[in-house]
């Protein structure tokens, strides 16, 4: 029932062997560059020449494209339509439909924004796919992040898969008591309604019980933590991190200089 509780896919790959902080820097770097670079085509360029190659480099391209098709593209598409239609930009009107009158400017703006969002979500997805959450947690706490904070990050990362597992459990329980969830679309949507309450409430109860359980195992202990797994942190990691920092600084500099 609860087979997969996170997005992590276990593989031997260059990305998997990078230090979690390096990957986090990479993610933040990609996002900053996508949002700050003063050139219109930067985010598009990043998707083609950074995100997709990284997916192959991490041997998770299949999982990445799967997530992109099911989650990232629909969300970005929705955002694009909303912004293209409703952003009140002056300029060349493309068409007029009742109160809607999108301009070329608003469409361009929405397109660029949607691509930036794709870069952001994609780079996080790649991080999740290639990083064992507890490695991320250990590494960050070892570097001084308070463990509670790290736990919040980890739990947030796991919330989607966990909700999904919980939802499956509840659906199994409801069907075992005769709730018919197959059949027409209306019926299926109708079946979602009795799911929402228990999903939220049940998750809250579980969160509390889990909070006590991890407390009993020294979670808030003030001792410096150790880690079962050896976390890689090579010179290459350090070089990549500094390289990324430089790129971000250059991007910010360009932006200031060109504006």
Partner 1 sequence: MAIVNLQNVTYKYPLTESLALNNINLQVNEGEFVAIVGPNGAGKSTLCYTLAGFVPHFFKGELTGMVEVAGVESQKSKLHEWVLNVGLAFQNPFNQISGAKYTVYEELAFGLENIGIPRDEIKIRVEDAMSLTGIRDLADRSPYSLSGGQQQRVALTSILVMQPKVLVLDEPTSQMDPIGTREVFGVIRQMAHRGLTVILVEHKVEWIANFADRVVALKDGSILLEGTPSEVLTSDLLAENGFGISRYTSVARKAKAQGLWKKERLPVTLDEAVEGFALTPGPSPEGRGE
Partner 2 sequence: MEITISNLQFSYPAGVHALRGISLEINSGEQVAIVGQNGAGKTTLVKHFNGLLQPTSGSVLIGDWDTTKYSVSKLARRVGYVFQNPDEQLFCKTVGEEVAFGPKNLGYDKARVESLAKDALAMTELSEKTETNPYDLSATWRKMVALASIIAMDTDIVIFDEPTTGQDAVNVARIAHVVKTLRERGKTVITITHDIDFCAENFERVIALSQGKVLLDGQANDVLGQEEILATTYVDPPQLTRLGKRLGFKQTVRNQEEFLTALKG
Q: Which spans of this chain sit near partner 1 (rule: CB under 8 A)?
A: 1-3, 5-6, 8, 132-134, 137-138, 147, 151, 154-155, 158, 162, 165, 206, 209-210, 212-230
Q: SS3 of 174, please?
A: helix
Nearest in space to 68 (alpha carbons), one of 26, 25, 115: 115
Q: Is 82 in the site for partner 2 (CB under 8 A)?
A: no
Binding region for partner 2 (CB under 8 A) out of 19-27, 53-61, 140-148, 167-175: 167-175
Rounded to 5 degrees, φ, ψ at 230 are -80, 125
Q: Is 254 exposed, middle or buried (0-12, 13-18, 19+ CB in 10 A)?
A: middle
Is the distance from CB of 63 to CB of 130 less than 8 angstroms? no
Binding region for partner 2 (CB under 8 A) out of 14-22, 156-164, 195-203, 238-246: 195-203
CB of 28 to partner 1, least distance (A): 23
Q: Is 197 in the site for partner 2 (CB under 8 A)?
A: yes
Q: How many residues bind partner 2 (CB under 8 A)?
A: 22
Binding region for partner 2 (CB under 8 A) out of 18-26, 61-69, 155-163, 171-179: 171-179
**Per-residue contact track with partner 2, 236 to 255, x per CB under 8 A?**
--------------------
CB of 62 to partner 2, least distance (A): 18
CB of 72 to partner 2, least distance (A): 26
Alpha carbon distance 80, 16 (integer Å): 33
165-172: long-range pairs with CB below 8 Å, 24+: 165/1, 165/2, 165/3, 165/4, 165/5, 166/199, 166/202, 166/203, 166/206, 167/195, 167/199, 168/1, 169/1, 169/2, 170/195, 170/198, 170/199, 170/202, 171/195, 172/1
**Per-residue contact track with partner 2, 122 to 151, x per CB under 8 A?**
------------------------------
């Amino acid at each position: 029932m609860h087979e997969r509780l996170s997005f992590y896919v276990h593989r031997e790959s260059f990305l998997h062997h990078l230090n979690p902080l390096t990957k986090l820097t990479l993610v933040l770097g990609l996002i900053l560059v996508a949002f700050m670079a003063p050139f219109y085509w930067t985010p598009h360029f990043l998707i083609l020449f950074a995100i997709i190659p990284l997916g192959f480099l991490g041997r998770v391209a299949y999982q990445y494209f799967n997530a992109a098709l099911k989650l990232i593209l629909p969300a970005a598409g929705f955002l694009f339509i909303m912004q293209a239609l409703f952003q009140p930009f002056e300029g060349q009107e493309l068409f007029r439909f009742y109160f809607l009158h999108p301009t070329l400017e608003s469409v361009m703006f929405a397109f660029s924004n949607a691509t930036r969002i794709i870069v952001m979500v994609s780079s996080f997805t790649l991080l999740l796919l290639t990083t064992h959450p507890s490695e991320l947690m250990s590494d960050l706490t070892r570097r001084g992040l308070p463990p509670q904070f790290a736990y919040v990050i980890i739990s947030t990362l796991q919330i989607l898969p966990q909700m999904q597992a919980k939802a499956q459990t509840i659906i199994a329980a409801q069907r075992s008591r005769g709730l018919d969830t197959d059949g027409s679309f209306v019926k299926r949507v109708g079946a979602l309604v009795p799911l929402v309450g228990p999903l939220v409430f049940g998750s809250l109860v579980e969160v509390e019980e889990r909070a006590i359980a991890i407390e009993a195992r020294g979670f808030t202990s003030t001792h410096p933590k150790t880690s079962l797994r050896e976390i890689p942190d090579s010179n290459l990691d350090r070089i990549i991190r500094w390289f990324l920092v430089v790129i971000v600084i250059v991007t910010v500099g360009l932006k200031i200089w060109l504006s």
